[in-house]
Amino acid sequence: MQNLMEACCRQCTHSPLTPCSDYISCRLEGPLCHDSELCKEARQDWIRTIQQPAEGKKRLLICAGTGCIASGSRPLKEHLEKELTARGLRRDVDIILTGCHGFCEQGPILIVEPGKTFYCRVQTEDVDEIVEQHLLREERVDRLLYREPGSGEAVFAYPEIRFYARQKRIVLQNCGHINPEDIGEYVALQGYQGLRKALSMERGAVIEELKRSGLRGRGGAGFLTGMKWEFTANAPGEKKYIICNADEGDPGAFMDRSVLEGDPHAVIEGMLIAAHAIGADEGYIYVRAEYPLAIERLQIAIGQAEKYGLLGTNILGTGFNFNLHIKAGAGAFVCGEETALLTSIEGNRGMPRVRPPFPAVKGLWDKPTNINNVETYANVPHILRHGADWYAQMGTRTSKGSKVFALTGKVNNTGLVEVPMGLPLREIIFDIGGGIRDHKPFKAVQIGGPSGGCLPESMLDLPVDYDSLTAAGAMVGSGGLVVMDEETCMVDIARFFLSFTQKESCGKCTPCREGTKRMLEILTRMTQGEGRPGDVEALEELAQVVKDSSLCGLGQTAPNPVLTTLRYFRHEYEAHIQEKRCPAGACSALLTYQIEADRCIGCTLCARVCPVNCISGKPKEAHVIDSTRCIKCGACKDKCKFNAVSRR
């Protein structure tokens, strides 16, 4: 046995061509078809090494998600291997590259098992000390432990960190704890049990289970997943398709990427269950081209599932066939809209189509097609495994289960957080997120990406669920939560989102194509100090027209950031128009940087940090900023120790 998925001895005959219906159960409890203590022991050995390391054996989990790789996690593995080999410890320690832990801020993250010691911002220089002190002397390396913001207290173990302690991890359960490139690890942790159960059920019963769970689409609109499946299942036609929308394009959201990179089999299992329930035999995962690592991990996962007969023909001997392909996007945000995505897979410009007919009836190549997003599919195996009732007990009356949010911006702990639906925003931002950076006051939180809205402090006790957020003018959307402090200008944020949607508008509907352009012009003018009376009213009218008369979700929601900032931060718009002033001090056209001659001691620090070299002056004499060349980056102000740089 080379790994958990392989045959224990010659008596096991499972292969893609000769499938065994007990294959999955057999991996965990087996062997089932014959009695052999030896075979059983071999299986249990594998499971133990994955679930908990054997006596005396240690497991080092290194995060190899995109965030941690960027912070330098890849060389860590090599260094550790070298160091362990040099000390003759290589056989006693497993080094495993995992997916994302969601706490990218603290990367690279290294976890030592047993004990779940959580080391953060680990660099290659630290490897020696970890081996010497932790692995040999069994003493923690204090300086690498995580410290809670505020109290500064060191936390020893992973589950005690407040960022994790308050979360409810279902979709992210495996992310960061298993090797995403090994299907055996997924199976050892109950993977593919949901599929096994689904295959033993009638198709209608699987759909009923989904409906009872109350799962709603995690991609944006929040439509009931079970209902969507039912429409496709009932649509006439022999050939049906299952599509996973992994074109995660909302700026500020990266949960789908983390799930694909950290637990790709969960998505594949969810799609298999959907395919069985709907009666589809072919599927596509449409992934953004900007996510090369996700594509690579998916390719590996699909290859392994095919090798062990979990994808292909006659899966587990049930007569169920399903083949899965990856389609890489080519860089168009609008392709996240389901009909545009279909048009793109068909090889065209990714422009949305008129609905109805909905994809459930007439989708890919005019065949009935079910489209869900990554997080939605990743929820499905858990629902089948634990039952709809278990799932439905989490969340609120109309929004069940948990949701992953990407918490970013000016908050202490940035990263992925999974919480039960209905948790108040305040708890997410202040308890899990650890509050605002540098003790600055909270100003707003932008939720739901370019389709969502900005909510002020007075809305912080709002429960985060589909309906409450929609009523407040925002939306759950894909789950981006960008926290802003007093230095963020709300007019500028509205302009930022509009410039994004304007650029990404496919141009099919005139109101979206032209309306967003005109709105952007007005907002840009305001941020440059050229706002005029009547601008706000014009914005409101344009927003309504674009909302009412666009074909797809992009246009229908594009004005949301403008409308919510107008609703909650109207005074900032007025300050820009009437006083030509940016209260947040963010709109650079309304600012000038100057050096106060009486405070400047001529230390030359500012001149050295200026990225465009526009500060001149002799050492020990007052310096001067050339305002014609100044890009207003503020680097000089940040660096000056004498508070001599002023911003007006």
Using CB under 8 A as the criterion, which residues of the chain lie in contact with another protein when the complex forms? 66-67, 69-71, 103-105, 107, 248-254, 257, 289-292, 327-333, 344-350, 365, 406, 408-410, 414-415, 446, 449, 480, 482, 484, 488, 493, 496-497, 500, 504, 506, 609, 611-612, 631, 633-635
Alpha carbon 520 to chain centroid, angstroms: 28
Strand partners, 327: 286
Shorter beta-carbon distance to another protein: residue 185 or 248: 248
Cα separations (Å) of 540 from 114, 325, 515, 528, 630?
A: 58, 44, 11, 20, 35
Q: Considering the complex, what minimum distance in angstroms separates the CB of residue 619 from another protein?
A: 19
Q: Considering the complex, what minimum distance in angstroms separates the CB of residue 612 from another protein?
A: 5
Shorter beta-carbon distance to another protein: residue 284 or 391: 284
Shorter beta-carbon distance to another protein: residue 395 or 477: 477
Q: Considering the complex, what minimum distance in angstroms separates the CB of residue 64 from another protein?
A: 13
| Contact between 148 and 164 (Cβ < 8 Å) | no
| Contact between 63 and 98 (Cβ < 8 Å) | yes
Q: Considering the complex, what minimum distance in angstroms separates the CB of residue 315 from another protein?
A: 24
> How far is the C-alpha of 255 from the C-alpha of 251, rounded, in Å?
11
> How far is the C-alpha of 407 from the C-alpha of 483, rounded, in Å?
8
Shorter beta-carbon distance to another protein: residue 213 or 505: 505
Shorter beta-carbon distance to another protein: residue 199 or 374: 374
| Inter-helix orientation angle 510-527/570-578, to 10° | 60
Q: Which token pair is 550?
A: 């666009």
Q: Considering the complex, what minimum distance in angstroms separates the CB of residue 260 from another protein?
A: 11
| Contact between 243 and 341 (Cβ < 8 Å) | yes
Shorter beta-carbon distance to another protein: residue 105 or 185: 105
Shorter beta-carbon distance to another protein: residue 104 or 316: 104
> How far is the C-alpha of 295 from the C-alpha of 281, rounded, in Å?
21
Instruction: Give SS3 for 112.
Output: strand
Torsion of CA 482, 546, 469, 445, to 10 degrees: 20
Q: Considering the complex, what minimum distance in angstroms separates the CB of residue 60 from another protein?
A: 22
Number of neighbouring beta carbons within 10 Å of residue 236: 6
Q: How many CA atoms lie within 13 A of 615 on its CB side?
A: 28
Q: How many CA atoms lie within 13 A of 314 on its CB side?
A: 9
Q: Considering the complex, what minimum distance in angstroms separates the CB of residue 363 from another protein?
A: 13
Shorter beta-carbon distance to another protein: residue 251 or 424: 251
Cα separations (Å) of 497 from 217, 449, 460, 491, 505?
A: 23, 8, 22, 10, 12
Shorter beta-carbon distance to another protein: residue 422 or 433: 433
Instruction: Give SS3 for 155.
Output: strand
Q: Considering the complex, what minimum distance in angstroms separates the CB of residue 589 from another protein?
A: 12
Q: Considering the complex, what minimum distance in angstroms separates the CB of residue 411 from another protein?
A: 10
Q: Considering the complex, what minimum distance in angstroms separates the CB of residue 505 from another protein?
A: 12
Residues 6+ apart with CB under 8 A from 182: 3, 304
Number of neighbouring beta carbons within 10 Å of residue 612: 11
Shorter beta-carbon distance to another protein: residue 86 or 631: 631
Taken as a whole, the chain contains a residue count of: 648
